Chain A
Amino acid sequence: DAGVIQSPRHEVTEMGQEVTLRCKPISGHDYLFWYRQTMMRGLELLIYFNNNVPIDDSGMPEDRFSAKMPNASFSTLKIQPSEPRDSAVYFCASNPTGEGYGYTFGSGTRLTVV
């Protein structure tokens, strides 16, 4: 298995532009998580899905952020409009059904908003 695949690896965009981050989880994993990592706040859980359904989006910082999972093999995290404070590394992780397995993380997308 190729693991969790994220694209792009790096994204530089201007303030106000729309940004879309993509994730392909491991086949057969029922749970998908989006995290944001910054120096100040560490790893923050933004949203997670179970069987393509958003379960908890309480970590999404504001309405500018949205996430979708149209099918079991693809998820997107969108920021519109982007702001400099959104600059961070965004990780996607997937997990087999249930608890206790531990995530498999993707390599992350480093987002810079200028």
Chain B
Amino acid sequence: AQSVTQPDIHITVSEGASLELRCNYSYGATPYLFWYVQSPGQGLQLLLKYFSGDTLVQGIKGFEAEFKRSQSSFNLRKPSVHWSDAAEYFCAVGVRDNTGKLIFGQGTTLQVKP
């Protein structure tokens, strides 16, 4: 069965520091992969997605993610975090059954220290 694991429930980084949020997936084929961000009281916003091709994908707000097939990972990175990046981040796997259905990880809450 497909699944997504985000090992870190909560991460705190200082403003200006680099960030890496981890995501591991279980899927029988090459998946579609997504990262979403949820600010408090808001819906989820798509940050970036991987379908195929270049394994390093760029997203909005200065985020990027790298697909590593050998590690079944799709980690999210940002070189310099801003206070406004404090939010909850969700990794998701897209099921390849033509429905567009997504399976989400449990989320990682990012806190940014001034």
Contact = CB atoms under 8 A, between A and B. Distances in A.
Contacts, number: 64
Nearest to A105: B43
B58 to A, nearest CB: 15
B67 interface: no
Interface string B47-60: 00101000000000
Interface stretch (B12-20, B70-78, B79-87, B93-101): B93-101
Contacts of B101: 33, 45, 48, 56, 99
A50 B99 contact: yes
A46 to B, nearest CB: 12
B43 A100 contact: no
Given A42-B107, A43-B90, A43-B104, A102 B46 contact: yes
Given A33-B101, A102-B102, A108 B96 contact: no
A111 B96 CA distance: 32
Contacts of A107: 42-43
Interface in A26-78: 31, 33, 42-43, 45, 48, 50, 55-56
Contacts of B105: 42
A108 B83 CA distance: 24
Interface of B: 32, 34, 36, 42-46, 49, 51, 90, 94-107
In order of increasing CB-CB distance, the 10 nearest A-B pairs are: A105-B43, A95-B100, A43-B104, A105-B44, A107-B43, A42-B106, A100-B32, A102-B46, A99-B100, A31-B100
Interface of A: 4, 31, 33, 42-43, 45, 48, 50, 55-56, 91, 93, 95-96, 98-108
